[in-house]
Structure 1
């Protein structure tokens, strides 16, 4: 992935820098998804609404944790963020 907006190096680096929004279990915490649009609205970059259920899923992380025998200890975000 590379285009006039992002270099390949930045594209590869971004997921590592973005890990902080997730819990160590790999899930998006309850309330987490609501933070991004709230921030964008606050600074005026977003005027409409967004269907958070279309922007993320914890399905894969929860399944991986279960397969590995790990217990999810925090409340994952639901479809409403």
Structure 2
């Protein structure tokens, strides 16, 4: 099964080697036919501590690293491709 890759914005970098990424998704409401935005925060492993608040990053699903971390940050060059 392929690993999921999501794109979002860094909302916190206060933890050691961990960033919090807000991922927003849009969908059409089935009854109202209106575009709705929903967001979710993901804790991602950032080994190099290269990303700061406001940066757009891509994260990839991986094995659990801790209670909350199940994602790793992709390098900037790989994230664009």
Whether these two folds match at TM > 0.5 is: no
Q: Whose strand fraction is larger, Structure 1's or Structure 2's?
A: 2
Larger radius of gyration: 1
Scaled by the length of structure 2, the TM-score of the pair is 0.28
> Relative contact order: is structure 1 or structure 2 higher (C-alpha 8 Å, sep ≥ 6)?
1
Q: Whose helix fraction is larger, Structure 1's or Structure 2's?
A: 1
